[in-house]
Structure 1
């Protein structure tokens, strides 16, 4: 041990720069890997930890019936807890609540008996007070609100509520809610009005205080939500007519927690129908929505684990080459001590001391980086489910990093040193490079020949330099960067191109809901298709059917003009009355493929349909299938849940600008025309920065390793340079040799790494596209492909500037005398 410590002190003085660079590279690699792993573990468990603390609701029962009696529902054997909520709304600070409206609780059960929210700051509101509210973190962030701030809740008059002049819809993080009852809509028509969710509230205004910032599965945020304000149950108790209306035409619905969880839903539905005598009550499966949220979090968690694995593997190749080079160099110098009695084992351990010390210091720095970075984790969807945001120390991950990194580096350095010592005993003839030999035979300048040999030939004895690690680093760096940018190009394309999700239209014309048609489709759709700038219109009817144990949306298409066809992943569209085309979501849910027969149960009975194709469709439909109009009518006798037209515009036509023309040819405004706004899945938005971050990380590691290789070559082969300088090599030729070495290493990395990187990036994207039900198109990162060669050559030649200066300015006499 004394001999090893003695050597380490000597080696530290001689190679402190190399050890420092290696420490920083290990710290960077360990910091990235540990941060990603700890963030993935924390994010992956966020929803489970939130559910464990909040007693979430299992279903949302929405009969949308004024005066509905909830007592029989409370008594059902499957019901563990029930919290009533008022399907009504209010203004916030003089503006429509819009996406920040959370339906008010009608009793104290919400946030206490179920959906017991985690309080991130402050406290829960007092259910006996109308002037207290709580908000979600996204609301506080978006509107700059904090505990103690006030908001003005503007209520509608009872008459406004009765005639649907308040909010018509609300959005929670787990369901889209239609608030108006048919009684309110009928009252509006009888009063000569139409439901208007932009009407100014004319009722009382309550100055309410924000007393807490809370989070639960229902009373919480999700990707793309603006955050929510949740009033106290006291608001309903004190201002009932301003929420239910003078005639109580608005409805009270309920969050319900079932004792057996999601598996009790079928029994609950049967009991609900028996208790109420109704089969048309809308029941939202909140557990399945929570599962979808967990799936999104799981995908993001997998992405972080993948990032950690990619960074770790790249670090092994790139940083590992620096470790091997440092250990081999030290082992070569230790031949002197071998002659005075140092054993091979002692020599190997002594050579590994420098890399092991760098690994220990780098691991500590990496853990510190990961702990500091934890305050920004989890990220993505999981950040909206984390019950305890802020800095967090994952003992398992951080402790593992502190132990594993030094052990792995020490073991690798020891094995490399031992291998080098064994090789030195036999002193084999140095390996010659075919490329360097060819350069010499062609009579190229001495700086080119010398630089090529520095890059490709290891040399022998005390001047030997491991060249394979540098080449592997260059190849790995280029491969990783190109793969990351290729994948990034695919993500950017999918995140901005609705066609990748089977969406090819730009405007929607909604003409009917729940079997009620506002205008005739056979009149309006052909007229819309004839408008200049319109390519065609796809008329779509939709209704819900049962296929096995799954609920599937059945779509019927009828085309006017020349709209684009379906985005088909496999097979073809249905042509006959016994054929269907499944979406990829439905195909996975039903475990069906082309050629299978599925039994579809509609309102008129069951029909066998043969699956003839698999398509990519809008994921908002959920599991869906496309049939011919004849097959649809056989299933539902013309009934529909909604009926609308997808209007496809010519390239360059502004959807907003063409709306007046569309209304004009239709001859009526009794239906809705809306530009389609594409929103990419949150998973894609989460992933967009990850490939770029990975590319930057790999580029830094690769450049650091190549820079270290250049400096090591000049130091180890200084005697070769000194001899040539003594024979007449100029300073510029010495610099040129180092620049040639950098260029050769870079070109080798580019030649091998570019095709590997493109192939790897495409392979990873194909896997992700399948998981997200995205239509796969081979991505091409044109900017990266064009810039990678000049940028890589420029970067490595800039790194060669300092080693080149050392080669040019070395004192030839001193070097030769030392030799």
Structure 2
């Protein structure tokens, strides 16, 4: 092994530019593959992780009636199925008298919405004080429509509806708010219906003066997150039975299961994750083919000195060890470079709507994927090239390091005679 060690050191000193070039090429290609693989996982899990981070609600309970059913909401919050709950009022407004663009405006009497329950993801600005009148957080759609930035002024026109349901624009009331942040709501990552398709604003309580708010209220709701393992059907049944005890609900509530919206959002995000995973797989196969050819050629060049080493008494196993050690320097260095590339490129992920959903943008280190990728880059080329290394060592036989000499002829030559 001493001879192998000296041969390896001499080879590294003599051929380090070529070995380094192969390692860098392997690292760059492997980095692309690892970036895509980790990005696929990050894209696919972005929305579920957002829901967990946001303490997102799973069910909306909407009582009948125009006023706030405070007694019913208080009783509902004591139900054993509930892990978290917030209340909110939903109001009908328009952006301006000219374009009459519908805006979903919400305000939370308990101040929990957007802060501790259904937490908003702040894109720019800062979280508002839910108890400071006149503050608002808006989504990107409303910010673009009204050219808003944090610190700007949002002007809405509250339009009451006639008993027939027809908007009475001639009775519109001007509402003014100071914008503290541009945010993303967990139910607005991908518009999946009329409730999440339009611009949205979350404003501090109270939404407006009581007479104005009463005329603009579309209704009040309780947004609920259930305890793990709780039955959605059992909770809905309990909420409906509880409503019959309180007159402020007129005995009726509407239960909306938000799982359909969650499923629709995940299905909308999944194609980008699948595309990244497919790209990572194809790029990995191409990289293995290209790098395998280059390393195989390097192996053939290294095998040219095997006869000399055999003449020095190096056995076949030692020659294979020397070949794999040379290749291992390339693959391990390339794997380290690939990890560095993947970590440096991780802020580019996720892609598509998942980027808006990602709760923690920036550098991410996925130990499972990066660890498996490091092992594959470092070991898979060695596994593929081990048989050629054995064949190269097998061809360098004989005491002189060449093929065995031809057996002496039975009849001596005339010169020998």
1:32–1:424: structure 2 CA closer, same or farther, 3 Å change rule? same
User: SS state of the match for residue 223, structure 2?
Assistant: strand
The counterpart of 1:264, out of the listed 231, 234, 248, is 231
User: Could you say which residue in structure 1 is the equivalent of 2:157?
Assistant: 155
Asked if 1 retains the 8 angstrom alpha-carbon contact of 2:129 and 2:135, the reply is yes
User: Could you say which residue in structure 2 is the equivalent of 1:66?
Assistant: 66
User: Could you say which residue in structure 2 is the equivalent of 1:322?
Assistant: 294
Is 1:232 matched with 2:236?
no
1:312–1:121: structure 2 CA closer, same or farther, 3 Å change rule? same
Output aligned runs, 1:190-209, within 5 Å. Answer: 195=167, 202-209=172-179
1:128–1:31: structure 2 CA closer, same or farther, 3 Å change rule? same
Distance in 2 between the 1:268 and 1:35 partners? 43
Is 1:222 matched with 2:190?
yes
Is 1:41 matched with 2:31?
no
The counterpart of 2:308, out of the listed 333, 336, 352, is 336
Asked if 1 retains the 8 angstrom alpha-carbon contact of 2:148 and 2:154, the reply is no
Distance in 2 between the 1:372 and 1:92 partners? 45
User: SS state of the match for residue 330, structure 2?
Assistant: helix
Deviation at 1:374, TM superposition (A): 0.8
Asked if 1 retains the 8 angstrom alpha-carbon contact of 2:243 and 2:252, the reply is no
1:142–1:36: structure 2 CA closer, same or farther, 3 Å change rule? farther
User: SS state of the match for residue 85, structure 1?
Assistant: strand
1:187–1:42: structure 2 CA closer, same or farther, 3 Å change rule? closer
Q: Deviations over 1:674-698 (max 9, x none)?
A: xxxxxxxxxxxxxxxxxxxxxxxxx
Deviation at 1:257, TM superposition (A): 0.9
The counterpart of 2:218, out of the listed 251, 254, 258, is 251
User: Could you say which residue in structure 2 is the equivalent of 1:630?
Assistant: none
Distance in 2 between the 1:222 and 1:301 partners? 15
The counterpart of 1:81, out of the listed 52, 71, 85, is 85
Q: Which moved more, 1:352-361 or 1:259-268?
A: 259-268
Asked if 2 retains the 8 angstrom alpha-carbon contact of 1:85 and 1:105, the reply is yes
Asked if 2 retains the 8 angstrom alpha-carbon contact of 1:107 and 1:233, the reply is no
Distance in 2 between the 1:126 and 1:93 partners? 29
1:113–1:32: structure 2 CA closer, same or farther, 3 Å change rule? closer
1:10–1:113: structure 2 CA closer, same or farther, 3 Å change rule? closer
Is 1:393 matched with 2:365?
yes
1:137–1:389: structure 2 CA closer, same or farther, 3 Å change rule? farther
User: Could you say which residue in structure 2 is the equivalent of 1:25?
Assistant: 25
Asked if 1 retains the 8 angstrom alpha-carbon contact of 2:63 and 2:69, the reply is no
The counterpart of 1:125, out of the listed 120, 124, 128, is 128
User: Could you say which residue in structure 2 is the equivalent of 1:383?
Assistant: 355
User: Could you say which residue in structure 1 is the equivalent of 2:330?
Assistant: 358
Distance in 2 between the 1:200 and 1:404 partners? 69
Distance in 2 between the 1:364 and 1:32 partners? 13
Distance in 1 between the 2:276 and 2:288 partners? 18
Asked if 1 retains the 8 angstrom alpha-carbon contact of 2:43 and 2:354, the reply is yes
Distance in 1 between the 2:144 and 2:366 partners? 27
The counterpart of 1:103, out of the listed 106, 116, 129, is 106
Structure 2 segments unaligned to the other structure (5+ residues): 245-249, 404-417
Deviation at 1:103, TM superposition (A): 3.4
Output aligned runs, 1:109-188, within 5 Å. Answer: 109-112=112-115, 114-119=117-122, 122-136=125-139, 148-156=150-158, 160-163=159-162, 183=163, 186=164, 188=166
Distance in 1 between the 2:29 and 2:266 partners? 29
1:3–1:263: structure 2 CA closer, same or farther, 3 Å change rule? same
Distance in 1 between the 2:144 and 2:320 partners? 57
Distance in 2 between the 1:142 and 1:21 partners? 52
Q: TM-score, normalised by structure 1?
A: 0.42
1:402–1:264: structure 2 CA closer, same or farther, 3 Å change rule? closer
Asked if 1 retains the 8 angstrom alpha-carbon contact of 2:299 and 2:323, the reply is yes
Output aligned runs, 1:256-295, within 5 Å. Answer: 256-260=223-227, 263-276=230-243, 282-295=254-267
Distance in 2 between the 1:345 and 1:144 partners? 72
Distance in 2 between the 1:353 and 1:144 partners? 62
1:152–1:134: structure 2 CA closer, same or farther, 3 Å change rule? closer
Q: TM-score, normalised by structure 2?
A: 0.76
Asked if 1 retains the 8 angstrom alpha-carbon contact of 2:59 and 2:224, the reply is yes
Distance in 2 between the 1:4 and 1:292 partners? 61
* Coordinate RMSD, CA, aligned: 3.9
Deviation at 1:56, TM superposition (A): 1.6
User: Could you say which residue in structure 2 is the equivalent of 1:679?
Assistant: none
Asked if 1 retains the 8 angstrom alpha-carbon contact of 2:157 and 2:174, the reply is yes
Asked if 2 retains the 8 angstrom alpha-carbon contact of 1:91 and 1:201, the reply is no
1:258–1:50: structure 2 CA closer, same or farther, 3 Å change rule? closer
Distance in 1 between the 2:251 and 2:232 partners? 14
Deviation at 1:92, TM superposition (A): 7.4
Deviation at 1:150, TM superposition (A): 0.8
User: SS state of the match for residue 75, structure 1?
Assistant: helix
Asked if 2 retains the 8 angstrom alpha-carbon contact of 1:375 and 1:392, the reply is yes
1:144–1:425: structure 2 CA closer, same or farther, 3 Å change rule? farther
Give the length in aligned residue pairs.
387
User: SS state of the match for residue 323, structure 1?
Assistant: helix
Asked if 1 retains the 8 angstrom alpha-carbon contact of 2:86 and 2:110, the reply is no
Distance in 1 between the 2:30 and 2:134 partners? 51
Distance in 1 between the 2:47 and 2:139 partners? 16
Asked if 1 retains the 8 angstrom alpha-carbon contact of 2:160 and 2:172, the reply is no
Distance in 1 between the 2:151 and 2:380 partners? 54
Structure 1 segments unaligned to the other structure (5+ residues): 164-182, 189-194, 427-460, 462-819
User: SS state of the match for residue 89, structure 1?
Assistant: strand
Deviation at 1:370, TM superposition (A): 0.9
User: Could you say which residue in structure 2 is the equivalent of 1:489?
Assistant: none
User: Could you say which residue in structure 2 is the equivalent of 1:762?
Assistant: none
1:312–1:280: structure 2 CA closer, same or farther, 3 Å change rule? farther
Deviation at 1:316, TM superposition (A): 2.4
User: SS state of the match for residue 209, structure 1?
Assistant: strand
Distance in 1 between the 2:385 and 2:161 partners? 79
Distance in 2 between the 1:112 and 1:337 partners? 72
